[in-house]
Structures are given as structure tokens and as C-alpha cells.
């Protein structure tokens, strides 16, 4: 059996709108879930002293059958909407800019990693 490989990512979503805590919907009605939130002390993407936040969003063609365990992440500081401003920047409805660090697909999972600037 072949291992899951990297595939060219799908086009970037133009807009992501919150439909509930940690869940976003894009312009094609595809759901994205917040899989991970990292702060500066836990993120390999940050090397500056200021507060750094990265969010990992996953869009999957198949969702797990098992319910996920309780997730204590606090989504309150995430914007209600993200809009793609350029090829590597999303602007939140709170006027904050989020830099696109990664857009990839492995198997059925498409991932976006955004970092608050």
C-alpha cells in the first residue's frame, strides 16, 4: 500500500466565514475547522519577541467518524471572517492581517496555516 503523498493544493479560499466556534465556511460552502492554535512560545513559525499567533485550518473531503474529544481552544480572538487580500495575506473582519505560511494537501486533508502579523 502506498503512503499518503503531497498533492498540489486546491485554489486558496477567497473568503472564510465563521459558522460556529472553530468552524469556517468558504465561498464554495466547504467547511474548514481550526485544527490547532499556537502562540509564540509553541510555534516553530515565530522568531520574534512580539505576540505571535498561528492558526491551522483543515478542510477535509471526509470528516472522521469518531467524535473529537472536548477541545479547550479559545476561538474568541479569531476573526468572524477572513478575506484573501493577496496571494499570501488574509485580512480579518477585525482589520488584522494574517500571513499565509502554508497551503498544502496530504491525502484528504487540505491545510492552511495563517500567522497574525
Q: Would you list the DSSP string of 31-76? A: EEEEEEEEEGGG-TT--SSS--EEEEEEEESS--SSPPPP-----T
* Counted domains in the chain: 1
5 assigned to some structural domain? no
Q: Which domain, by its residues, includes 53?
A: 12-63+74-116
Which CATH number goes with the domain that contains 88? 2.40.15.10
| Residue 7 in domain | no
Q: For 48-92, how does the pLDDT look when each residue is reduced to its tens digit (9 = 90+)?
A: 555 688 999 999 665 555 545 545 567 888 999 999 999 899 999
pLDDT at position 116? 92
**4: DSSP letter:** P
Answer yes or no: is pLDDT of 113 > 80. yes
| Residue 68 maps to a domain | no
Asked whether residue 46 is domain-assigned, the answer is: yes
> Distances in Å between the alpha carbon of 104 and those of 1, 12, 19, 92?
22, 10, 23, 21
Q: 101 by DSSP, 3-state: which?
A: strand
pTM score > 0.85 for this model? no
| 112 within 8 A of 103, measured Cβ to Cβ | yes
pLDDT band for 39, please (50, 70, 90 cuts).
confident
110 belongs to a structural domain: yes
Residue 112 domain flag: yes
**Domain-located, residue 51:** yes
Amino acid at each position: 500500500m502506498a503512503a499518503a503523498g503531497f498533492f498540489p493544493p486546491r485554489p486558496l479560499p477567497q473568503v472564510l466565514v465563521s459558522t460556529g466556534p472553530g468552524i469556517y465556511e468558504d465561498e464554495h460552502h466547504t467547511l474548514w475547522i481550526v485544527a490547532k492554535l499556537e502562540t509564540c512560545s509553541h510555534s516553530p513559525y515565530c522568531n520574534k519577541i512580539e505576540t505571535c499567533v498561528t492558526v491551522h485550518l483543515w478542510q477535509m473531503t471526509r470528516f472522521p467518524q469518531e467524535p473529537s474529544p472536548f477541545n479547550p481552544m479559545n476561538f474568541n480572538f479569531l476573526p468572524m471572517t477572513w478575506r484573501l487580500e493577496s496571494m499570501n495575506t488574509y485580512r480579518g473582519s477585525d482589520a488584522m492581517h494574517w500571513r499565509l505560511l502554508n497551503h498544502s494537501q496530504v491525502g484528504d486533508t487540505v491545510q492552511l496555516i495563517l500567522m497574525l502579523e
